[in-house]
């Protein structure tokens, strides 16, 4: 099921939650809506589901080319997994999962035996076979999450929408469920959209990522594109850690933090003040200058417990820089607090101030 949204706006009182947003979700895709809270991502998800209506004057919402704007939630056949799961607290796990089947009109309702069989299959799928007769309050967070997913899948939805699916879980469970959901999606290929404010989650899980900010879409792209080629300062800042400098573009040269570099190709025609961004892992750290333009700095602090070593550096010009180097390189350089180093930036992203 392909989903298309055209020129969607939504205001709550005087607050503009969505501002003329257009988006298309390919059939079978797993798409992430990534943004800070208040960026409109949950509103967008709820509009796709039909839980919220877009403002008058918004364009249509198309499912496989057919407008569903006038269809109510129940007619859209979407599976929605709520942020806090919204399990029916007075029903057992099995009853929760069967709910969507049991409320169907009599003529469409499967037989009782059929419902029971379906519930059993779904419980096996989410691996909660032993818990059919438990109540939601007797389950852990991860288990509740899986019941919510099973309940949404029971109706064979053509679209699966998940609102912060792992938001309320602790870090380890979160990671495991994330992998499991990716596997599940690889096999069933139901068009899925999930909302998250966690960049790792979006980059790891999604086929494509939509970065939202202040009711607008900042960038749509694969996780690679969004991470390595951010189109705006906001995306650069929001997706991944970053060092930020004020600099100048002049005649094809870029100057920042007492350093002159060749301007990146896409910016060599412009001149004027600019903001300069470098990811921590794009800062090369060495003991001696290696011939390329580099900054002199002292190691102020370091954190070596982890897959990479994080360094806090203080440049001669008084700038604070964050760098990440591999454990092997860290040992080879033999760094300690106070060591003098040369820092060479790569993959510098520049956004002129006027933009």
Q: Which phi and psi (to 5°) does residue 150 adopt?
A: -60, -40
How many CA within 13 A on the CB side of residue 53? 7
State the burial class of residue 107 (Cβ atoms within 10 Å of its Cβ: 0-12, 13-18, 19+).
Answer: exposed
Burial class (CB within 10 angstroms; exposed 0-12, middle 13-18, buried 19+) of 32: buried
Q: Which is nearer to another protein, 178 or 279 (CB)?
A: 178
CB contact at 8 A, 255 and 262:
no
How many whole angstroms separate alpha carbon 278 and alpha carbon 323? 9
Q: Is 106 helix (H, G, I), strand (E, B) or coil?
A: coil
104 binds another protein (CB under 8 A): yes
Of 103 and 328, CB closest to another protein:
103
Residue linked to tokens 């059939």: 27
Phi/psi of residue 81, each to 5°?
Answer: -105, 120
Provide the residue count of the chain.
355
Residue 112 contacts another protein per CB under 8 A: no
Among 89, 106, 288, 336, the residue binding another protein under the rule CB under 8 A is: 89
* Stretch in the footprint of another protein (CB under 8 A) among 2-10, 141-149, 200-208, 255-263: 141-149
135 binds another protein (CB under 8 A): yes
Q: Decide: is 173 part of the binding site for another protein (CB under 8 A).
A: yes
Instruction: Tell me how many degrees the CA angle 161-212-353 measures, rounded to the nearest 5.
Output: 170
Is 30 a binding residue for another protein by CB under 8 A? The answer is: no
Quick one: 15 or 260, whose CB is closer to another protein? 15
Which of 50/247 has CB closer to another protein?
Answer: 50
296 near 316, Cβ under 8 Å?
yes
Element (H, E) at 65: none
Size of interface with another protein, in residues (CB under 8 A): 57
Kindly write out the interface string for residues 199-238 of this chain, putting x where it contacts another protein by CB under 8 A and - elsewhere.
Answer: ----------------------------------------
Give the residue, chosen from 86, 214, 302, 333, that forms a contact with another protein under the rule CB under 8 A: 86
- Residues of this chain that interact with another protein (CB under 8 A) are 1, 49, 51, 73-74, 78-80, 82, 84, 86-90, 99-100, 103-104, 118, 121-122, 124-128, 130-131, 134-135, 137-143, 146, 151-156, 158, 173, 176-177, 179-180, 183-184, 187-190
């Amino acid at each position: 099921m392909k989903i298309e949204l055209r020129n969607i706006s939504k205001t709550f009182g005087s607050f503009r939650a969505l501002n003329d947003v257009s988006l298309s979700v390919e059939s079978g895709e797993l798409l992430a809506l990534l943004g800070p809270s208040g960026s409109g991502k949950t509103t967008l998800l709820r509009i796709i589901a039909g839980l919220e209506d877009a403002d008058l004057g918004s364009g249509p919402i198309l499912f496989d080319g057919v407008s569903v704007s006038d269809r109510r939630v129940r007619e859209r056949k979407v599976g929605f997994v709520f942020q806090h799961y919204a399990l029916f607290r007075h029903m057992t796990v099995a009853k929760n999962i069967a709910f969507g089947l049991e409320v169907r009109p009599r003529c469409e309702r499967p037989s009782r035996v059929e419902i029971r069989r379906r519930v059993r299959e779904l419980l096996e799928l989410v691996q909660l076979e032993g818990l059919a007769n438990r109540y939601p309050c007797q389950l852990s967070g991860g288990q509740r999450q899986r019941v919510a997913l099973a309940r949404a899948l029971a109706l064979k939805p053509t679209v699966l929408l998940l609102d912060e699916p792992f938001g309320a879980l602790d870090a380890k469970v979160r990671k495991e469920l994330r992998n499991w959901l990716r596997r599940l999606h690889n096999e069933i290929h139901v068009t899925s959209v999930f909302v998250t404010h966690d960049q790792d989650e979006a980059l790891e899980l999604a086929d494509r990522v939509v970065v939202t900010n202040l009711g607008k879409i900042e960038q749509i792209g694969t996780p690679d594109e969004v991470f390595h080629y951010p189109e705006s300062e906001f995306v650069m800042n929001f997706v991944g850690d970053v060092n930020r400098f004020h600099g100048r573009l002049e005649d094809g040269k870029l100057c920042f933090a007492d350093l002159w570099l060749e301007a990146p190709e896409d910016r060599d025609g412009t001149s004027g003040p600019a903001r300069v961004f470098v990811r921590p892992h794009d800062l090369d750290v060495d003991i001696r200058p290696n011939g390329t333009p580099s900054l002199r700095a002292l190691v102020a602090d370091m954190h070596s417990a982890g897959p990479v070593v994080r360094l806090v550096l203080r440049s001669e010009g008084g700038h604070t820089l964050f760098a990440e180097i591999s454990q092997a390189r860290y040992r080879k350089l033999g760094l300690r607090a106070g060591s003098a180093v040369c820092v060479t930036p790569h993959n510098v992203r520049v956004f002129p101030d006027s933009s």
